[in-house]
Structure 1
Amino acid sequence: MNKYYIYCRKSSESEDRQILSIPAQIDALKEIAKDHALHVIRSFAESKSAKYSGRPDFNELNKRIEAEEGNAVLVWHPDRLSRNPEDSAKIISLMDAGKLLEVVTPTQTFRNNPMDKFMLGFFMMNAKLENDNKGVNVKRGLKAKAEKGWLPSGAKPGYTNDKYAEKGNKTIQNDPVRFPLIKQCWDLMLTGAYTVPQILEKLNNEWSYRTTTRKSIGDKPMGRSQIYRTFTDSFYYGMFEFPVGSSIWYKGSHEPMVTREEFDRVQTILGRPGKPRPKIKEFPLTGLIRCGECGAMATAEEKWQVICPVCKLKFNSNNRSACPKCTITIEAMRKPTLLHYIYYHCTKRKDPNCTQRSIRTEELEKQVDAFLAKIGISEEFKNWAIKYLNVLNDNEVETRNASLSSLQNAYNACVSRLDNLLKFKISPQNTDGRSSPTRNSRHKKPP
């Protein structure tokens, strides 16, 4: 009597889109074994592509047949066993050696004779041919799409694929919600006054940006690595490389978010060490003034001091909660004297021996006022500035509207989830009060 192994396989690739699920394959093959009184000694099942050799369960199946523990295989279709020449040769070699006597499918049995072995090899190699042709056709289609100026992949943040277009002719359009938000990120970066983490904080928390919702991912804040990729991606000024690393560049047909010059400027900002930007504590003049002696940038420090009403000691309160002399806590002091100072001074990065001392903010502001008083503004510049302020206002309105739209979408998604949860909670199917739609669907028997 022949000893049968059941072998089932399904990969997540498009080649297996129409194939039954593994549980459905097992049920169907067990039914065949029962109807024909086949002696099944073990079942193998794996979710791997058969385009290449190296599947663990398939190799284990071959080892057991080689060791003559079993001598027949029950499988849904020959292409479940192999789609590559190496594994196909293993199956035929086992038949040539007399160790594999037959391969049984729901529609056909391949026994150890020349014609059946030829047909079995033909079906497996025909699956290989289908894969190869599919790969060639896909590459040809992707290249044709790139030549038309459309990136042959998912849309970048700020853009969306036209889901209503015919497959193969999908274009890339501006995302009405996310495009203005990502554009505003570029604008902030171009000012040179914001770091990438600061821009990311604004994008996610102030403007409520959420990624595009897909089947199992999305509707989340943008990640740190993603925003760095965005600021270094040539797609945003209208060019893309395809395939990546090929040095073949195409001009995109999508609407660029920035110009080439603006993109290059952002790359300079990202790569320039010591670029002056406001730190966690922002001071109005840092990043704008330099030391008059050595030319290094000026920085500022804030100091809070307390005069203890008990012992009259003046001490720095930045990192203290009590008087260092009499140990009374600041909270317990009655009418303590609070002093607040902001000092600007040279960073001395260019010359550690720079002799310039610190200056109080009040004195520095007087010097700035005196300098600005010498500057006159022409009528032409004033008109241009007012016009540009209107442009900035329009941009701010667009960003605010996009942010509100993003918030509304997130709110609607939450309400929808709550409604569905309530419906399931009161459903007669939820008898124990602990089931979930996800758990319920996982336990459904495949067709």
Structure 2
Amino acid sequence: MDEINFGELKVGAYLRKSSDSEDKQVQSIETQEREVQTMSERFRFHLKNGYIYAETKSAFSPGRERFGQLLDDIESGKINALAVVNANRLARNSMDGARIVDLMDRKKLLAIFTLSKISLNNANDKMMLGLEFLMSKKDSDDKSVFVKNGLKTKALKGLPSGVAFIGFLNDFTNEKGNRKWKIDSERYPLVQALLKRFLQGDISASRLHRYAIKELKMTTPMHKRIGGALISRSRMYEILKDPIYAGFFSQGGVRYPLDTSMPRMITEDEHHRILQLLGARHMPKTKKYLAAYTGFIRSADGGFIGQDPKLQLICDCGKKFAYLHREICPTCGVQISDMNSPKYLSYTYYYNVPRKKAGAKARHLNERKIDAYLADYARKNLTFSRNLAEWSKKHIHELGDKEIQEKRSVATRKVKIKKDFEAKKARYRDMLAEGLITSEEYRTDMERLQQSFSSENERMAAGQWLERANEIVDLTEEFSEIIESGTVEAKRKVLFRLGSNLIWDEKKLSIINRKSVQALIDGLNRARRKNTKFEPGNYEANKDETEVFASVRPILLRTVGVIRTWIGVNQQDFYVPDLT
């Protein structure tokens, strides 16, 4: 491209400091501004007055306000160059990085100045800039995986993440990540007294709140910036509804028991009783009922499988009846609101809607049988030990790192191929002009050249597969647990992430998987056939030198490669029947 006079550029500066952990070692806004001023003297450019864009915002996802204004000003021509201390200040996600490169492609953005270099609008500089954005994205993804694993590890120890619930305090004597809770001697007995008082059933949550602030003078714990105020009405509802006081909590849709060193204020039955008391006239609200497998199951011929929920109640007299649209027990005549300990039951059945509408017999499938089928399927086909999962992720990341290195060489090769392509086109045009070849020969040669260039580009294209492969491995650790004890929302989410559907043919249940998931299952089955002593659910994969693991290790490595192929190269990770 033409030479650029840096002094004539309309340069704006972008300064970003994030509150996320990614930036704990990153310079402050003031320091970045000073560095940009130093850069302007070093590279001899002038910052345009009024075009310094500073914000405190994470770049993990699109949506930064000042960054959006920056792009708009580049698009409108108000500025045509950027000064930033490091390229990762601009983008740590794919979309924002692509927008920067696109502005350079369209010659709206002519240069990006950083502390270490200048990126101009040429193929090599844009390639390196794209790689910096790619590495920033990978670093963000890795941090996300590490955080999720850390939160799950802490939950398995019975420790919820974040600030301790009222009645408990965070224990800062341990290192970060292993900090437990301790009893708040001031508020613990107050919370317990409030829960026991509400269980008597003769006081509303609003009255209980007034009692807490007027009689007990109950306040929130003091923290650095907040705390010490009387508890709000919304906080009272949180206390009443939270299962933590019964000794368990949910994280990511999975239930975990609270650390056994923490006392339980109430029993689990008492917790459910409180939830019933909070409902209108003791009854759960059923404005909309969504079952776990609605939308994930169909008939063998593709017909819709509907849900049939059964919501029942067992009265104190022992009579079981459907409680919707009822206010009294049909046997003893006692008002539901006056029952001492009503027991609520919920069953869901699935059936072939088209068959039933046509008057044909449609067998019902109990949701509990689906739970049992999926849990058994997961144990047999999709259960990894923790060590085997970590071993798999290690090799997935090794493939990903290798691909990044290959992309660097591919990008360099693309530049050379493009130059050679343009040179050959120019040579053919000269030959045609000099009469050395005919028009028909020219068209034939150009078509052949274009086909060669296109096929080379297609061969070098690679998909983004790393995140999906890691997700599949993560699911092997949590799938059966969620199916057995997770919430309706958690079950639906895990099926969506796995990408599997169920088939009900009126006799038996079966499952169809995406090709990447099926490739994993097929690989594990081949490994089992190779050595019957190998069992993924309990095998210690870090013992690489043992005879058992050494015998199946090549199969597992090939399996990782096949998964990468289905997700990344073929881009055809469609459903296939499970024939195992």
TM-score, with structure 1 as normaliser: 0.57
1:169 corresponds, among 165, 168, 178, to: 178
Q: Which residue of 2 aligns with 1:12?
A: 19
List aligned pairs for 1:262-411, cutoff 5 A.
262-271=270-279, 273=281
Task: Name the SS for the 2:14 alignment partner.
Answer: strand
Whole-angstrom distance in 1 between the partners of 2:75 and 2:201: 68
CA–CA distance in 2 between the matches of 1:266 and 1:92? 56
What do residues 287-333 of structure 1 show as CA deviations (whole Å, max 9, x unaligned)? xxxxxxxxxxxxxxxxxxxxxxxxxxxxxxxxxxxxxxxxxxxxxxx
Q: Which residue of 1 aligns with 2:40?
A: 33
Aligned to 1:333: none
CA–CA distance in structure 1, aligned partners of residues 64 and 201 of structure 2: 52
Give 1:133 deviation, angstroms: 0.5
Pair 1:108–1:196, CA change in 2 (3 A): same
Counterpart pick for 1:48 among 57, 69, 76: 57
Identical positions, percent:
35
Query: If you compute each CA radius of gyration, which structure gives the higher value, 1 or 2?
Result: 1
Displacement of 1:274: 9.5
Number of the residue aligned with 1:238: 247
Residue 250 of structure 1 corresponds to: 256
Mapped to 2, the partners of 1:223 and 1:131 lie a distance apart of 37
Corresponding residue SS for 2:53:
strand
Give the Å deviation of 1:147. 1.6
Partner of 1:57: 66
SS in 1 for 2:264: coil
Residues 119 and 263 of structure 1: CA distance in aligned 2, closer, same or farther (over 3 Å): same
- What CA distance in whole angstroms lies between the structure 2 residues aligned with 1:80 and 1:274? 54
Which residue number corresponds to residue 314 of structure 1? none
Matched, 1:121 2:127: no
Q: Residue 30 of structure 1: CA displacement?
A: 2.4
Aligned match of 1:386: none
| Deviation at residue 148 of structure 1 after TM alignment | 1.8
Summarize the Cα distance change of 1:194–1:4 in structure 2 as closer, same or farther, 3 Å threshold: same
Q: Does 1:215 align with 2:224?
A: yes
**2:97 match:** 88
Unaligned runs of 5+ in 1: 276-447
Q: Which runs of 4+ in 1 moved over 6 A?
A: none
Going from structure 1 to structure 2, the CA distance change for 1:69 and 1:273 (only over 3 Å counts) comes to: closer
Partner SS, residue 129 of structure 1: helix
| Structure (1/2) with the larger helix percentage | 2
In structure 2, the residue matched to 1:392 is: none
Cα separation, partners in 2 of 1:40 and 1:208, compared to 1, 3 Å: same
When residues 179 and 38 of structure 1 are mapped into structure 2, their CA distance, relative to the original with a 3 A threshold, is same
Distance of 1:223 and 1:132 partners within structure 2: 38
Residue matched to 1:203: 212
Deviates more, 1:68-77 or 1:224-233: 68-77
Shift of 1:258: 0.6
CA-CA distance at 1:193 after TM superposition = 4.0
The match for 2:116 is 107
Distance change >3 Å, CA 53–CA 261, structure 1 → 2: closer
The CA deviation string for residues 21-65 of structure 1, in whole angstroms up to 9 with x for no partner, is 323322331243245431211212223322222333323322333
Matched to 1:195, the amino acid is S
1:231 and 1:196 mapped to 2: Cα distance? 8
SS of match in other structure, 1:273: helix
- The alpha-carbon distance between structure 1 residues 172 and 48, as it changes in their structure 2 partners (threshold 3 A), is same
Taking the aligned partners of 2:39 and 2:27, their CA distance within structure 1 comes to 15
Q: Partners of 2:213 and 2:234 in 1: how far apart? A: 14
**Which AA in structure 2 matches 1:20?**
Q
Aligned-residue offset at 1:128:
1.0
Per-residue deviation at 1:223?
A: 0.8
Do structure 1's residue 135 and structure 2's residue 141 form an aligned pair? no
Q: Distance in 2 between matches of 1:274 and 1:72?
A: 65
Q: 1:265 to 1:100 in 2, by over 3 A?
A: closer
Q: How many residues align?
A: 273
Secondary structure of the 2:281 match is coil
Q: C-alpha distance in 1, partners of 2:213/2:64?
A: 43
SS across alignment from 1:257: coil
Q: Give the 3-state SS of the residue equivalent to 1:265 in structure 2.
A: helix
Displacement after TM superposition at 1:217 (Å): 1.5
Match of 1:368 in 2: none
Distance 2:198 2:175 in 1: 37
Shift in alpha-carbon separation, 1:232–1:101, aligned structure 2, 3 A? same
Equivalent residue for 1:71?
A: 80
2:200 maps to what in 1?
A: 191
Measure the CA separation in 2 of the matches of 1:191 and 1:136.
45
